[in-house]
Structure 1
Amino acid sequence: MLIESQRNPEQAAARHWVGAGDYFLGEIKQGQTLRLVDLEGNQAADVLFYNAQNPSERYSATDTIRTQGNVYLSGGSKLISNNNREMLEIVADTCGRHDTLGGACATESNTVRYSLEKRCMHACRDSWMLAIAEHPEFRISKRDITHNINFFMNVPVTSDGGLTFADGISAPGKYVELTAKMDIVMLISNCPQLNNPCNGYNPTPIEVLVWN
């Protein structure tokens, strides 16, 4: 469901520019609202959410899909943890579809999907591993890197139950806003993928805004 936001970017408490292929790792307090902005269009942001007090509680794709009865996220969707608790709610969305099934690119999947020569190409899992290595204060380890949300990414489900990576449906300036229902840690890989249409074969920056 498309929902426009009434929040003024000039009144945001924090703004972060995340370059193509870079990461963001930070805490969002309960009650705060964050906005992810697709600055140039057709970008994919691979995102993981954790309970800031206990990172073993984290976003669960299975519980989120089961609760809302939909494999796609949009306005009104609630993100559910592996403890079956509400973590965030999407309160505004001008894109209309966000993927829960496609997962994140890795050196291994680059090799399997594309070619052995693609193995050395940078991938989202590399960004996540770098982020948690550089920020041990968040107490996130390799075992906590699980299934993610691909904001702005278009992964249609085929009639026979398969997945396809299709051209994005986002555009410059499209955004999604989420309100935190608990203190959370958000880990973003601004996807560096060059081998499928999720980034239009041209990764671009995103922006993160936070309101109190």
Structure 2
Amino acid sequence: MLARQEVIFSDTLPGAAHWSMVVPKGRTVRFKDLEGGANMSVLFYNPTNPLERYNAPDTLKCQHTFKLTTGNCLYSDMGRIFCSIVRDDTGWIDTVCGVANKQKVAQKWGERDYQTERNRWKQNGYDALLVEVAKYGLGKRDLAANLNLFSKVSTDELGNLNYDPQHSKADDCIELRFEMDTLVVMTTCPHPLNPSEIYPYKPVEVTVFESEPMQESDTCLNHREENKRGFENNRRYASTVGQTVESPTINHCC
């Protein structure tokens, strides 16, 4: 896909870093694990109304799943679709484990000290996301449950959570096609269940390009009937805010 389309933007987010950007409707973002074993924690907000944000329970419930992968859509708490997962080389995206805080990182890898370690300091995912959302006037109460791209956490028969340290390989990619303008907040801090004895600094490449037009046979559109309702909610919202609506003809559910 990328070879046929012009890259609009590309950069590499180093390990233990954080960043944010507003992705317009009609763009696709490719995240690439450059070394293997990366973790990219992400949150999504409506840039014109940040009270609308990613809703993990609704996303999982309406698609009857515990994990996310190709074909799934990411829902807001208004029943709209921020983006669709059009490619996931890993086959499993963690949805439930959140991010580590300062205490968790200190317990596993030692106290962080920017004055001594500079950009190699042991940042934690919670503070990293908090710094980013603060740039948009948001705070602690606005940190919803996040996704952890490139990370897999499964459960055993007793309900215990099991982290797979070999899940993501070098050059594995995850592509999100954005269905509405979206503020994306991200951090490459390690997953809270990562068992590594040494704090892992794993970079992720972020590339933005134009999405291909969605067809009636689109995998994400047809993955669940609920997704068709989500796209209809997007269509109605776009018509009220003056966005261009480009979608296939769909028999919409009530």
TM-score (norm 2): 0.72
Q: CA separation of 1:195/1:32 partners in 2, compared to 1, >3 Å: closer, same or farther?
A: closer
Matched with 1:130 is 131
Select the structure with the greater relative contact order (CA < 8 A; seq sep ≥ 6): 1
Structure 1, unmatched stretches of 5+, are 1-5
Task: Write the mapping of 1:58-207 to structure 2, written as runs, cut at 5 A.
Answer: 58-110=53-105, 114=107, 118=110, 120=112, 121-133=122-134, 135=135, 138-192=136-190, 196-197=194-195, 202-207=200-205
Q: Quick one: structure 1 residues 194 and 68, their matched pair in 2 at CA, closer, same or farther if it must change by over 3 Å? A: closer
- Shift of residue 201, structure 1, vs aligned partner: 5.1
Moved over 3 A (4+): 108-111, 117-121, 192-195, 197-201
1:179-199: CA deviation from partner (whole Å, max 9, x where unpaired): 111100000111146972489
Distance 1:200 1:75, change over 3 A: farther
**For the structure 1 residues 209 and 123, does the alpha-carbon distance in structure 2 shift closer, same or farther, using more than 3 Å as the test?**
same
Provide the C-alpha distance between the structure 1 equivalents of 2:8 and 2:74, rounded to a whole number of angstroms. Answer: 23
Distance 1:9 1:190 in 2: 28
Kept after mapping to 1: 8 A contact 2:148/2:191: no
- Structure with larger Rg: 2
Conservation of the 8 A alpha-carbon contact between 2:99 and 2:191: no
Indicate the percent of aligned positions where both proteins have the same amino acid.
Answer: 29
Q: Taking structure 1 as the reference length, what is the TM-score of the superposition?
A: 0.85
Which of 200, 209, 212 is the aligned partner of 1:211? Answer: 209
CA RMSD between the two structures: 2.4
Q: How many residues align?
A: 201
Letter in 1 for 2:33: D
- Deviation digits for residues 31-54 of structure 1, max 9, x if unmatched? 111111101111110110111111
